Amino acid sequence: MDTRPEEDHSRLVQTPTSIASVAVAVLLASVHGHATSLIVLDFTSAFERAPVKKSNYGWSFTVTAPILADGLGLWDAGSNGLIEPHAVGLWRTSGPIGVPVLIASEEVNNDSVPIASTSPNGRWLFSTIPPVTLEPGNYIVGGLYLAGAQDLYDPFVSDALSIATLSGVEYGSTREVHGTDRLTCPTDFGLNEHNGFFGPNVRIVPEPSVFTLLIASAVLFLRRGRYGGCAEG
């Protein structure tokens, strides 16, 4: 009689369900990664400008369909890090000038998360904020620059070419305010020909419909893996 113990094959077998589960986990991780990669505005190229010491620079925009913001960011020229940390704020306004109401603010520094730009001349750095829904209306995003041209400074850019915004967002105009060492809404209009003071930016969570589609696809993939691609009968 053969008394050798039976070989345990349990570690050698990978069921379709286990393979599908791994694939689903990878897909959902991918969804989470993409959830933090959408930005309100980007451009292909622009001119660097030195900030005036103790100034806030930014730009206005209009939201035409609700979006969910979860981060505030700043332009990192040369993608080599910031000289100083910057406070960045987001304000809701009423009418073309209206009284601004601060709805989110955060510091952006070299520990912030980098996001690639369509411009080869730099990148964006983003810090996370508690998610806030931007309802249709007018907004201003601004960043504080304490160092000026006479110091080591972080440049912002203007005269941007090929400005692109997310669906549901329309770029407005350049904004600035000078002579303050605090984060202040830049309500003064800059010269229109500058075509943007970037500067600050806003990060957006993808629409829920995108998540729903991807998660539904993941569940279907898992189901098909469990039943070997066959329908229940």
Residues 140 and 171 reside in one and the same domain: yes
Residue scoring higher pLDDT (131 or 27) = 131
Residue pair 201/124 in contact (Cβ under 8 Å)? The answer is: yes
Question: Where would I find the H helices in the chain?
Answer: 16-34, 208-226
Residues 181 and 216 reside in one and the same domain: no
Predicted local distance difference test score (pLDDT) of residue 171: 94
The pair of structure tokens assigned to 81 is 């890090």
Sign of the torsion formed by the C-alpha atoms of 79, 159, 58 and 147? positive
**pLDDT tier at 17, thresholds 50, 70, 90:** very low
Residues 83 and 180 reside in one and the same domain: yes
Closest CA to 69 of 87, 92, 45: 92
Query: What residue numbers bound the domain in which 218 lies?
Result: 17-32+211-226
Residues 120-162 have pLDDT tens digits of 999 999 999 999 999 999 999 999 999 877 778 999 998 888 8
Residues 175-233 have pLDDT tens digits of 999 999 999 999 998 765 577 899 999 999 986 554 455 555 555 555 555 545 444 44
Residues 92 and 183 reside in one and the same domain: yes
Q: How far is residue 228's CA from residue 225's CA, in Å, rounded to a whole number? A: 5
Classify residue 3: in a domain, yes or no.
no
DSSP string, 18-36: HHHHHHHHHHHHHHHHHTT
Q: What is the DSSP letter of 51?
A: P
Closest CA to 153 of 97, 209, 85, 208: 85
Classify residue 1: in a domain, yes or no.
no
Domain of 167: which CATH number? 2.60.120
127 forms beta bridges with: 72
